[in-house]
Structures are given as C-alpha cells and as structure tokens.
Amino acid sequence: MSTVDGNASEIAVAAVARRVESTSTRRPRRSVGARRLRWAGWLFALPAAVMYGVFVLAPLGSTIQYSFYDWNGIGRSTFIGLDNYVRVFTDPDLLAAVVHSFVFILFFSIIPVSGGLVTATLIRDIRSRALSTTARVLLFLPQIIPAAGAAVAWTWIYSNDGALNQLLRAVGLGAVARPWLGDFDWALIAVGIIGTWLSLGLCTVLLLAGIGKIDTSLYEAARLDGAGWWRELFSVTLPGLRAEIGVCVTITTIAALASFDVVFLATQGGPGKSTTVPGVEIYLLGFTQNRVGLASALAIVLMLLVLLVVGPIQRLFRERS
C-alpha cells in the first residue's frame, strides 16, 4: 500500500508540475498578443497623429516662434522678446477688436441659444408633422448657405437701397433708414444680427434633438401638477437639455471669438475700426501690413482667450450634468 501511495503522490506532483509549466509557457504568448494588439492600435492612429502634427502642431509652433520676432515675412527677422505681446495689450485698436469679439458673443451665442430654446419648445408643441418638419427645414437653411454667401446677401439687404430700408420706407419709417454697415453706431450690431441669423437654426435643431430624448412622462406629470408652459420650460426642458445647451454655447462662443469671414466680407472691419475683430486684425497685420510677428502674437492671444472662455463653460455644464 505504501508503494502504491508513493506512486500516486509522484504522479500527482508530476501532473501539477506539468500544469505549472504549461501555464508559465502560455503567459508570455498572451502578453505578446496583447503587445501586438497595443502596437496595432498605435499604428492605426499613426496617420491621424502625423497629419495632426504636420498641419496643427507644427504651424502652432511656428506661430509661437514668430510672435517673438519683428518680421515682415520676407526679409531678415529681429528678436524682440515680448514686445509684440505688450503691443497687443496696449494698442487701443487691438484691444477694441478683442472687445468687439466679446460683444459678438451676445449675438452669436446668447441670443441664438435663448431663441433656439424657445423656438424648439414651440416646434415640439406643433401637432402637425408637416408643419413641424417645414419649420425645422426653414430654420436649418442658413447652415446650408456658406457664411461668405450669407455675408454678401446681407450686405445687399443692409445697403441704402436694400430690402431693409425699402421696408422701413414702405411703413413710414424712412427717417430710420440708413446704410447700416456704413454707420459707425450701427455697423457692429448689423454684423452681429448676421451672426444671430446663422446660429439660430443650428441651436434650434440641436435643442430639438435633445428635447426628443426627454421622457414625455415628465411633461405629463408637470401638467398634472398644474404647470404652465413657462414652468415646463424651466422645470423639465432646461434640466433635460443641459448637455445640448453646453454644446450650443461652446460652438457659438468659439464662432463669436474667432469670427472672420462674415465680418471681413461684410465690412472688412469698417467703417473705421468699428467692426474689427481679432481674426480680421490678424489678416490685415499679416497680409496687408507685413507685420507677421505682431499678427502671430495676436493669434496666440486669441487662442488663449478662446481656451480661457470655453474652458469654464465646459466645466460648468460637465459639473451640472
């Protein structure tokens, strides 16, 4: 019996040893496979990373470098340190351009998001599917039209003999008519209205998509509690649209701060400097005045300004959501 027990124990030990050996030999194979998968992921991301480095990071690095030099874009450059940045924060015209971009936040972001919220809620209450679809299409049409084309069209509308002034004269308000884009007091507001027209449809469609995800039982419960239209808006719709509102505010705020095409084609920053924005100033400094260093410094300041404004917005809506 002792001999049999000894043989059995030897067999058991040998079996355990084989299992341990097989396990130890398999583990490296699994780790090699995992490594291959990991490297395969990096290889798939490599083309996009190369393109991002070439077309985003490399120009950004060059812009940062140029911002420390006095250079006309052709001849010899001179290192001047932070002088270009000091000029950005002390030149009244450049500071006015930054202020104008913040004014545009009202027209490009606040008004479109607020109006889009009300419009989306009204469209949700439309019982007719045909009318609801027609309203969505009409509101989204400005997004199909290029911003450059919209700016040209609104330039005709705002002209002295344009549709707006003709309408004012037709209703007896001819004294109010004026060349809107050529008026020092009204040009900035007129350009801002173009931005409102361009942003309203996008905000409305995004918020409509968000409203479609809100549970209808919440609206039914609010009506049973006697809530009216405004109470539903503030108690049900707004809390359910925090993420969508955050997206709308982020997109439109960036569009306001980095605006260029609409302003340049409508007024080119005029009359005088009444509608200049950083984007237009960067173009004028770099391509018409050959002040590449100052234009680069203003571009870096604009980038940091966008990050400083958009960052808290993202954090605010992320915390609330």
Taking the C-alpha atoms of residue 146 and residue 148, their distance in angstroms, rounded to an integer, is 5
| Residue owning tokens 């040209």 | 152
Report the mean per-residue pLDDT for the chain: 86
What type of residue sits at position 149? G
Which fold does the domain 91-320 belong to in CATH?
MetI-like fold (1.10.3720)
Taking the C-alpha atoms of residue 126 and residue 140, their distance in angstroms, rounded to an integer, is 17
Query: Which stretches does DSSP call E strand in the chain?
Result: 69-70, 78-79
Non-local CB neighbours of 6 within 8 Å, separated by 6+ positions: none
Domain borders along the chain are 2-66, 91-320
Q: With bands split at pLDDT 50, 70 and 90, how would you rate the model's confidence at 73?
A: confident
Q: What's residue 35's pLDDT? A: 67
pTM attached to this predicted model: 0.82
Residue 314, token pair as written in the block: 């993202």
Instruction: Give 79's strand partners.
Output: 69
Stretch among 8-12, 35-39, 90-94, 111-115 having the lowest mean pLDDT = 8-12
- DSSP label at residue 241: T
CA distances from 244 to 138, 208, 221 (A): 21, 9, 23
